[in-house]
Amino acid sequence: MNEDKYLTFALTKGRLADKTLALLNTAGINCSEMEDKNSRKLIFVNEELKVRFFLAKGPDVPTYVEYGVADIGVTGLDTILEEGRRAFEVLDLGFGKCRMCVCGPASARDLLQHHERIRVASKYPNIARDYFHNQKFQTVDIIKLNGSVELGPIVGLSDVIVDIVETGSTLRENGLEVLEEICPLSARMIVNQVSMRLKNERIRELIHSLEGQL
Ligand code: PRP
């Protein structure tokens, strides 16, 4: 468990980390070491502020937080729901907004309406299973893919997909559409449950200060 004097953040490498750092900056938290965009380093420390950053792949962020090696994590709600790790979700950061949807060709609408046993391709098998089995009470076969999920219905691997829709242009360019909306998504801040007790004052202060910026 992370009982040391540092406040450790696990951030999602890429655009999400950039936006998170810009936000943290407004709360007086920065790390000049991270400004070198060509750097391949994965751990950064600001000794003065006693903060430390890990740059991780999105799905690993809740893992670092659950195990307490990071006190705080920032990643998309899609990833948090899919990974199902233990952590407190404390803040909606308001960026990275998109929607989790069931998508497919218009012809798949009937299959959904009649609760047919369909094939669903997704990078998010847990979210897809929960939606169809527990919310719609529809028996489906889930096929896990790792990206370019829109291929699924086009090449006949699946009837529909469960995927993120942001602008909708990937769907349009591939002749697919949103058939059902599962939930809105955005970047969230999560906190390790033990850190929340042990570093309560520091974490509360941070949340309060970020809330003021959002
Ligand atoms: C995501 C998502 C969709 C696309 C949606 O894919 O899986 O394919 O973005 O964005 P849009 O609605 O603005 O077109 P990503 O670019 O992360 O790549 P991937 O297909 O490899 O997962």
Q: What is the pTM of this model?
A: 0.94
Ligand 1 centroid, distance to 163 Cα (angstroms): 8
Q: Looking at the structure, give the CATH architecture of the domain made up of residues 3-96+186-213.
A: 3-Layer(aba) Sandwich (3.40)
User: CA–CA separation, 30 vs 45, rounded Å?
Assistant: 10
Ligand 1 centroid vs 164 CA: distance in angstroms?
A: 6
Assess contact for 137 and 129: CB atoms under 8 A: no
What does the block give as tokens for 78? 């899609």
CA dihedral 30→61→81→87, nearest 10 degrees, is -80
What is the average pLDDT value for the chain, to the nearest integer? Answer: 95
Helix (H) or strand (E) holding 51: strand 51-56
Is the model's pLDDT at 2 over the cut of 60?
no
Query: What is the rounded distance in angstroms from the CA atom of residue 146 to the CA atom of residue 130?
Result: 19
Residues near 181 by beta carbon (within 8 Å), at least 6 away in sequence: 99, 100, 101, 102
Q: What pLDDT is stored for residue 35 in this prediction?
A: 79
**Which ligand 1 atom minimizes the distance to the CA of 168?**
12
Domain borders along the chain are 3-96+186-213, 98-183
Quick one: pLDDT band at residue 1, thresholds 50, 70, 90? very low
pLDDT, residue 40, reads 87
Separation of 78 CA from ligand 1 center, angstroms? Answer: 13
- Spell out which residues line ligand 1, taking CB within 6 angstroms: 123, 147-150, 163-170
- Residue 182 to residue 133: CA distance in whole angstroms: 13
* Inter-residue contact 185 to 80 (CB < 8 Å): no
Residue type present at position 132: F
Collect contacts of 127-136 with beta carbons under 8 A, ≥24 apart.
127/78, 127/81, 127/82, 127/100, 127/162, 127/182, 128/162, 130/81, 131/102, 131/162, 131/182
> What is the model's pLDDT at position 124?
98
CA 37 to chain centre: 22
| CATH of span 98-183 | 3.40.190.10
State pLDDT tens for residues 132-166.
999 999 999 999 999 999 999 999 999 999 999 99
pLDDT digits (tens, 9 = 90+) for 87-128: 999 999 999 999 999 999 999 999 999 988 999 999 999 999
Task: Return the ligand 1 atom nearest residue 171 CA.
Answer: 14
Model confidence over 46-80: pLDDT tens digits? 999 999 999 999 999 999 999 999 999 999 999 99
The backbone torsions φ and ψ at residue 213, rounded to the nearest 5 degrees and listed phi first, read -90, -15
Chain Cα centroid distance, residue 62: 9
Give the torsion through C-alpha atoms of 121, 126, 132, 138, to 10 deg.
90
Residue nearest to atom 3 of ligand 1 (CA): 164
Nearest residue to 112 via CA among 128, 96, 126, 94: 128
Same fold, 3-96+186-213 and 98-183: yes
| Atom 2 of ligand 1, nearest CA residue | 164
Distance 132 CA to ligand 1 centre (A): 21
pLDDT digits (tens, 9 = 90+) for 185-202: 999 999 999 999 999 999
- From the CA of 150, how far away is ligand 1's center (Å)? 9
Mutate to test the pocket of ligand 1, among 164, 169, 177 (most ligand atoms within 8 A of CB): 164
